[in-house]
C-alpha cells in the first residue's frame, strides 16, 4: 500500500471528509435546504450547533448549504454572492461562473467543500470539479450522511408533498445512521 492510503487518504491523495449532512428538497414552488450542526475532527465532536445552511445574496433570495472545510465554504459563499451581484441575482448563471472559477483558479481549485444552493427556480449542487448539477426529482444531498438522507427523502417523496417534512425526516434518518451527523438541524425555506 502506498503512502496516501496509509496516511488515511483516498486514492486521489485527499483526506476523506467526515462530517455534515445537507439536503435540498424542491416541491412545486417551495424549496427547503436543511443541514445538521455537528462539526467533527476525527472521531471527536468539536461543536454540535454549527450553522451550515444560510441565506445569501443581497436580498436573501438564495439559500446555500455546505459540506467540507468551513473556511473553504465561507470563501465559496463570498464568491457566489459576488457572482449573484454581478449577474443580477441569476442563480444558474452565477453558479456556472463560480464553478468555472472553482475548477480553473489555482487558489480556488484547492478548496475542499461541496455546496447545495437554491432559489425560487432552481436547486443545484456545486462541486470543485466544475459541476453544476440539477438533481432529478428535486432532491439532492451532500456530506458524510448525504446518501442516507437522499435515500430517505426519495422514499418519503412518494408519500409526502411537503418539502420541509421530507427534509426534516430525511435528516433525522441520517442522524440516526451517520456518526458524523447530529439532530440539531437548521432549515431554510424559499417559496
The pLDDT of residue 15 is above 50: no
SS (H, E, C) the chain: CCHHHHCCCCCCCCCCCCCCEEEEEEECCEEEEEECCCEEECCEEEECCCCCEEEECCCCCEEEEEEECHHHHHHHHHHHHHHHHHCCCCHHHHHHHHHHHHHHCCCHHHCCEEEEEECCCCEEEECCCCCEECCHHHEEEEECCHHHHHHHHHHHHCCCCCHHHHHHHHHHHHHHHCCCCCCCCEEEEEC
State the pLDDT confidence band at 105, using cuts at 50, 70 and 90.
Answer: confident
pLDDT digits (tens, 9 = 90+) for 144-176: 999 999 999 999 999 999 999 999 999 999 999
- Average of per-residue pLDDT across 61-86: 89
Q: Which residues are catalytic?
A: 20
**Which pLDDT band holds residue 18 (cuts at 50, 70, 90)?**
low
Judged against a pLDDT cut of 60, whether residue 11 lies above it is answered with no
Q: Report pTM.
A: 0.87
* pLDDT at position 12 over 60: no
Average pLDDT, the chain: 86
Predicted pLDDT at 182: 93
Q: Which fold has domain 18-190?
A: 3.60.20
Cell of 158: 412518494
**Lowest pLDDT segment from 15-29, 33-47, 64-78:** 15-29
Amino acid at each position: 500500500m502506498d503512502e496516501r492510503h496509509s496516511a488515511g487518504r483516498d486514492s486521489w491523495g485527499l483526506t476523506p471528509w467526515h462530517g455534515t449532512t445537507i439536503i435540498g428538497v424542491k416541491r412545486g414552488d417551495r424549496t427547503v435546504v436543511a443541514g445538521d450542526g455537528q462539526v467533527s475532527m476525527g472521531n471527536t465532536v468539536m461543536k454540535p450547533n454549527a450553522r451550515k445552511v444560510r441565506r445569501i445574496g443581497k436580498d436573501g433570495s438564495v439559500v446555500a448549504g455546505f459540506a467540507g472545510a468551513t473556511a473553504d465554504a465561507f470563501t465559496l459563499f463570498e464568491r457566489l454572492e459576488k457572482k449573484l451581484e454581478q449577474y443580477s441575482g441569476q442563480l444558474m448563471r452565477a453558479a456556472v461562473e463560480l464553478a468555472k472559477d472553482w475548477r480553473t483558479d489555482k487558489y480556488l481549485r484547492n478548496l475542499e467543500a461541496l455546496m447545495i444552493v437554491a432559489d425560487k427556480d432552481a436547486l443545484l449542487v456545486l462541486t470543485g470539479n466544475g459541476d453544476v448539477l440539477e438533481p432529478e426529482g428535486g432532491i439532492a444531498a451532500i456530506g458524510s450522511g448525504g446518501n442516507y438522507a437522499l435515500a430517505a427523502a426519495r422514499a418519503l417523496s412518494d408519500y409526502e408533498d411537503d418539502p420541509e417534512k421530507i427534509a426534516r425526516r430525511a435528516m433525522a434518518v441520517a442522524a440516526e445512521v451517520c456518526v458524523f451527523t447530529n439532530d440539531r438541524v437548521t432549515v431554510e425555506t424559499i417559496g
